[in-house]
Structure 1
Amino acid sequence: MGDADVQSALKLVSQAAGLYGVTEEDVRQWRAGIAERPAWAQRAHVSGAIAQRLVVTATEHRQDCDRESCRTCDGLREMLTIALAGVRTVVDDQLSETFRRPSVWPWRRGRS
């Protein structure tokens, strides 16, 4: 991501957070909980926390939604696709580091 992309993302997330009543104190407290970790561990924790909350929100919405066509379901599906791809990338990276060779996980089977 370039600087302009980061600034745009920060603006959009800040605006959406404001719509949901997120305060600067909320953000400060959440960040304080991970402040002692190295930067890479902070990013990993944030990504994991977002993915976990996404799964909970998607599961809750699926239980409540009975519409044939739903923009929220479509958005959650897209986010779950991104989250799953990200988690699999982390697992692949970890396996490569651990074993120094590609491993065959179910999502890699059948590829040439």
Structure 2
Amino acid sequence: MDEENIAGFREALAEQHPSNRGTYACAALDRVITDLAYDHRTECDGGDCRTCEGLNEAMTLAVASVRSMVANEMTWQRRRGNRRWFWSR
């Protein structure tokens, strides 16, 4: 871990719209986990591997996070489309 890389990623987050920062961070983390899993597959014999178990758990959390974000956005879209504001009556 390097302070320069951390500062660079914080800059990239700051450039995102505030409501998109969580999605951006999650997508970046998902990419890193996927890259690690892809690289590890060439090293692993498929046996009882702690790294595979950890990557599997991380991917499970990543997929659950993305699905939750999509579900929240879809719920918000539905709410926003059906809501009638008092000034638009």
| TM-score range for the pair, normalised by the shorter chain length | 0.7 to 0.9
Deviation digits for residues 61-90 of structure 1 (CA, Å, limit 9, x no counterpart): 123211410000000111111111111111
Please name the residue that 1:34 is paired with: 13
* Structure 2, unaligned runs of 5 or more: 80-89
* Structure 1, unaligned runs of 5 or more: 1-21, 101-112
- Structure 1 or 2: larger helix share? 2
Q: Size of the alignment, in residue pairs? A: 79
TM-score, normalization: structure 1? 0.60
Please name the residue that 2:76 is paired with: 97
Identical counterparts, % of pairs: 32
Please name the residue that 1:71 is paired with: 50
Bigger Cα Rg: 2
Higher relative contact order (CA 8 A, sep 6+): 2
Please name the residue that 2:31 is paired with: 52
Deviation digits for residues 14-57 of structure 1 (CA, Å, limit 9, x no counterpart): xxxxxxxx221221122112323343322221111001111121
The one of 63, 66, 70 aligned to 1:84: 63
